[in-house]
Amino acid sequence: MRIPDDISDLIERGALVAINHSGGKDSQAMTIRLVEAGIPRDQLLIVHATLGDVEWPGTIGHIRKTTFGLPLVIARPRRSFFEVVQARGMFPSPRYRQCTFGGRDRHHR
């Protein structure tokens, strides 16, 4: 994998590389590629934005098992998916996305 020069420069200067990880195959592939690219492990951080009550059981355990022991930050929503749907009066759609509404406020390692 070729890392763009401007990103490589930041990594060489010690920048932290946050890997957004859903638990899916694309997230796993990106994690593998970045580890294989030789980025120092102390500069890699896995971030998972949990779906709370509607997340598949075992997702966080799966992420922990497949990310080479890298540090994991779990961002938890302030309100559940259904609380947000009820407050907004609608389910998410391409135009009204839940993932960009309400923010996330608690971070756990």
Q: So what's the pLDDT on residue 98?
A: 62
In angstroms, the CA 71 to CA 48 distance is 11
Q: So what's the pLDDT on residue 104?
A: 47
In angstroms, the CA 28 to CA 67 distance is 7
Q: How many domains does the chain have?
A: 1
| 62 domain-assigned | yes
In angstroms, the CA 87 to CA 96 distance is 13
| 55 domain-assigned | yes
| 69 domain-assigned | yes
| 44 domain-assigned | yes
| 98 domain-assigned | no
| 87 domain-assigned | no
| Domain of 25, in residue numbers | 5-78
CB distance 75 to 50 below 8 Å: yes
| 45 domain-assigned | yes
Q: What is the pTM of this model?
A: 0.78
| 86 domain-assigned | no
Q: What is the mean pLDDT of the chain?
A: 88
The residues with which 24 forms a beta bridge, in sequence order, are none
Run of H or E residues at 28:
helix 25-36
